[in-house]
Structure 1
Amino acid sequence: MLTILFAACLVLLAALPAWLTFRNLPLFQPLAPLLESDRAPAVSVLIPARNEAAGIEEAITRVLESRGVRIELLVMDDHSADQTASLVAQRASEDSRVRLLLAPELPAGWNGKQHACWHLAQAAQFEFLLFVDADVRLATDAIARLVARLQGSDVSLLSGFPHQETETWLEKLLIPMMHFVLLGYLPLDQMRANTQPGFGAGCGQLFLARRQDYFDSGGHRGIQSSRHDGLKLPRAFRAAGFKTDVCNAEDIARVRMYASAAAVVQGLLKNATEGIANDRLIGPFTVLLAGGSVLPILSLPHAIQHGWNSIAVALLALATLLSFLPRALIALRLGQSWLGVVLQPLAVAVFLGIQWWAFLRAKLGREAVAWRGRNA
């Protein structure tokens, strides 16, 4: 009886993300095509840049090629040690829509990116604020389509999830976990129906905000110490009573988040304590993720080998099939690598290992993981 109960629990844990992913995917649609309009909305495109010389020119070029909108492009050089500032200055001398700003000294208690974004917003002139990471590449109609989506809603902050380019095996394994956690554990219909901060989610690579609502919510100043604006900025908006939303930006933006396996681990460690690796969430999410994605495939051969009750074996087989379903559905819809699908149990185990590593580091008082040469 205990074996049947154990197997039934794993079925439930595996069925939860499978069911939510099935429900969420139709709600996580690409943006509507761009329609010609007589009025081009005015958008301030804001890029915080620290040591981005390798790609900042391409980022600028893509933004300047935008159609259907009137733009200004503000790039803030955040004390780069490379040629970022001079490259942006050259583009600014060639196109009046581009402005180079130099970040003030980082005050105590501030994260570098949030500090740069807050100052960029204060310098912006237009009605809409588009925060874009320097490694994101936008399609020519991206900004106009994002603005159209925002204008057609009562949302104050819209986050797009770009297409994630992955090359190393660890990228293919772990980067799609952002979609698995988003679509497998956050009911998008409920998120859109309320402003509760706990439903806040987003991707820090691409945020579009209504200017007045941004400042009324406190903007990046309200999350000044955070390293995880993807979660914290939507929650700040919601805490101020504003609605936030997410969208599938696969066809309008692309990015390679991390350029190596080591960078993947470092990046996940950087954000972990503000995500899952904290006292409140590490336990529940370990149960949800391990029970739904790791234990079924580990338990099934053990059950067969030790002659468990046939009902228990059948339930474990069902749980194992369900554990692969969410990642498979997401890969089909978003064109992600099937390596990550096949190795989903390993992906979840490694992801959880990183979360526990970050959790224990914090408990032991270890210094925050350095990112781009600094710990803030």
Structure 2
Amino acid sequence: MSFFFIVFIITIVLNVWTIFNSFFLYPLSANRKLGETPSVSLLVPLRNEADNVEGLIHSLRALTYPDVEVILLDDHSEDGTFEKLNEQVRDDGRFTIIQGKELPEDWNGKVHACHQLSQAANGEYYLFLDADARVAPGIIQQTLAMMQEKKASMLSGFPNYPNANFLSHMLVPLQHMVVLLHLPLFVANRTTKPMFTAACGIFIMIDRKAYEAIGGHESVKSSLVEDVHIAREVKKHGYKMILANITESVLSYMYDSGKETWEGFKKNVYTGIGRSAGMVVFLTIFYAVVFLTPAAFAIAGLVTGDYALVLPYLLTVAFKMYVDARTGHPLWLSFLLPVAVVLLIAIMVASMFVHKRGEKYQWKGRFYQ
């Protein structure tokens, strides 16, 4: 059997698997019936987010859920975030603004901010939201209805990303691709097995009882990927956690520049794969075979006129296009998948070397080991 034929079969399986797996990524919907209407605390940590404050508050003012409090924590911002929050919130009684305490030595900055937010919250459910997120007015109803239907204590999801620079276009939407490719959602969303877990800290809704049972954010206080680790703790304690397709109701302006995109991914990606050099090697080989080899065959086919060689590449395009269509991202991104994969491999290696050299990851003026 030729190597080309093997790659061709792999790309067919890639498409079949992704389509099947996507059926278990439940979409939020306004059509789901909401039963009980528990009180909700919407909690937002902000550090140097002045540019996001106006859009965030405008989005949160439009929420239609009847029993919600919004608590915003300014985490020692240096760009006027606190002043802008006060200016935008004004006399809206649903909003409370607090200032964060000094960061303890053994805590991650965002985790500590979320911990303080939870201590100030009164709701029966907590919705942790990042400052760069924008949500649909009915997002709380949609999320609670899904959780009630699936009997889940925690729900998370990856939003739609309207990216503003080339590097973000290449890397940020890959989060959806990675989930649909690597995580068997029919196991992740139907069992409490911790190893089958993904989460996104931009959007996490959790039952307060489950949150307190796992020890809250304090249980993952030093984590750089606290979202995943909280989800695992939820499952370890026997609670159900589900991942949903939230892209029609939540979007995130995640990174403003290529440099910020690179630094953000470099901080998280190696930690996200368990700081395993072996996993970096495996994923590099896997992505090279599955995504880069078809591109090489396509180039050879175009040069030689043997257009059958282009088929595996077109199948990888179809795979990525399916993912982007389901998550609301531009379909032209699918044709540049080999470029995105090369960049992903490069950032995995760069992230690994930061750790191997004993250096620290930098994010928003703070340093993390």
**Superposed pair shares fold, TM > 0.5:** yes
Cα separation, 2, equivalents of 1:146 and 1:265 = 31
Contact kept in structure 1, 2:44 and 2:129, CA below 8 Å: yes
Residue 360 of structure 1 corresponds to which residue in structure 2? 353
Task: Report how far residue 328 of structure 1 moved.
Answer: 1.1
Q: Which runs of 5+ in 2 are unaligned?
A: none
Residue 138 of structure 2 corresponds to which residue in structure 1? 141
Quick check: 194-203 or 29-38, which moved more?
A: 29-38
Residue 375 of structure 1 corresponds to which residue in structure 2? 367
Structure 1 letter corresponding to 2:223: S
Contact kept in structure 2, 1:75 and 1:101, CA below 8 Å: yes
Contact kept in structure 1, 2:153 and 2:207, CA below 8 Å: yes
Contact kept in structure 1, 2:248 and 2:328, CA below 8 Å: no
Quick check: 266-275 or 232-241, which moved more?
A: 232-241
Structure 2 letter corresponding to 1:328: M
Task: Report how far residue 93 of structure 1 moved.
Answer: 5.1
Aligned match for 1:330, one of 323, 331, 336:
323
Structure 2 letter corresponding to 1:291: V
Instruction: Tell me the alpha carbon deviations over residues 176-231 of structure 1, each in whole angstroms, 9 at most, x when there is no partner.
Output: 11111011121111112221222110111000000010111222212211222342
Distance 1:80 1:49, change over 3 A: same
Cα separation, 1, equivalents of 2:178 and 2:153 = 23
Aligned match for 1:10, one of 7, 14, 21:
7
Distance 1:12 1:358, change over 3 A: farther
1:82 equivalent to 2:79? Answer: yes
Distance 1:123 1:86, change over 3 A: same
Contact kept in structure 1, 2:26 and 2:243, CA below 8 Å: no
Residue 164 of structure 2 corresponds to which residue in structure 1? 167
Pairwise mapping of residues 95-106 of structure 1 onto structure 2 (< 5 A)?
95-106=92-103
1:214 equivalent to 2:214? Answer: no
Contact kept in structure 2, 1:160 and 1:202, CA below 8 Å: yes
Residue 237 of structure 1 corresponds to which residue in structure 2? 234
Task: Report how far residue 244 of structure 1 moved.
Answer: 1.2
Task: Report how far residue 73 of structure 1 moved.
Answer: 0.7
Task: Report how far residue 300 of structure 1 moved.
Answer: 5.2
State the percentage of identical aligned residues: 31
How many residue pairs match? The answer is: 367
Cα separation, 1, equivalents of 2:343 and 2:35 = 51
Task: Report how far residue 23 of structure 1 moved.
Answer: 1.0
Residue 291 of structure 1 corresponds to which residue in structure 2? 289
1:264 equivalent to 2:261? Answer: yes
Higher relative contact order (CA 8 A, sep 6+): 1
Contact kept in structure 2, 1:20 and 1:185, CA below 8 Å: no
Contact kept in structure 1, 2:191 and 2:240, CA below 8 Å: yes
Task: Report how far residue 351 of structure 1 moved.
Answer: 0.6
Q: Secondary structure at the residue paired with 2:104?
A: coil
Residue 131 of structure 1 corresponds to which residue in structure 2? 128
Contact kept in structure 1, 2:42 and 2:71, CA below 8 Å: yes
Distance 1:35 1:153, change over 3 A: closer
Q: Please, what TM-score do these two structures have when normalized by structure 1?
A: 0.89
Cα separation, 2, equivalents of 1:39 and 1:153 = 14
Distance 1:183 1:268, change over 3 A: same
Instruction: Tell me the alpha carbon deviations over residues 211-260 of structure 1, each in whole angstroms, 9 at most, x when there is no partner.
Output: 01011122221221122234222122222222211111122111111111
Quick check: 26-35 or 141-150, which moved more?
A: 26-35
Distance 1:146 1:38, change over 3 A: closer
Contact kept in structure 1, 2:297 and 2:313, CA below 8 Å: no
RMSD: 2.5
Q: Please, what TM-score do these two structures have when normalized by structure 2?
A: 0.91
